[in-house]
């Protein structure tokens, strides 16, 4: 997160209002190579499903890996941008 460009409070508010991301531009993610873990995992498990219905051919096995991901979020207090 520390490597991401700093966005203004107004940009964050606008993104949250639209259920979007302040780093999402007209051509997609503007910080793709530095994106946070939540972005890397988005759409890969049932609990992190894409609200637009997009999904992988095969979701990550929820019986093991998803529990590890959720535990990691709790332990590191990982939050959305």
Residues 19-48: pLDDT tens digits? 788 888 888 888 988 888 878 877 777 777
**pTM assigned to the model:** 0.52
**What is the predicted pLDDT for the residue at 20?**
80
Answer yes or no: do 19 and 40 share one domain.
no
What integer pLDDT is reported at residue 71 of this predicted model? 81
> Could you tell me if 42 and 80 lie in one domain?
yes
Query: What does the pLDDT read at residue 79?
Result: 59
Does 44 lie in the same domain as 29?
A: no
- Domain that residue 29 falls in: 1-35
Tens digit of each residue's pLDDT (9 = 90 or more) over 44-64: 777 777 777 777 777 766 667
Q: How many domains does the chain have?
A: 2
The full DSSP string for the chain is -TTSPP--HHHHHHHHHTT--TTEETTEETTGGG--HHHHHTTSSGGG--TT----SS---TTTHHHHHHHHHHHHT----
Q: How confident is the model at residue 80 (pLDDT cuts 50, 70, 90)?
A: low
């Amino acid at each position: 997160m520390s490597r991401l460009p700093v966005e203004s409070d107004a940009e964050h508010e606008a993104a949250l209002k639209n259920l979007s991301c302040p780093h999402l531009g007209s051509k997609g993610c503007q910080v793709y190579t530095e994106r946070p873990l939540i972005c890397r995992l988005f759409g890969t498990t049932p609990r992190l499903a894409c609200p637009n219905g997009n999904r992988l051919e095969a979701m990550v096995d929820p019986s093991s890996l998803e529990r590890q991901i959720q535990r990691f979020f709790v332990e590191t207090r990982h939050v959305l941008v």
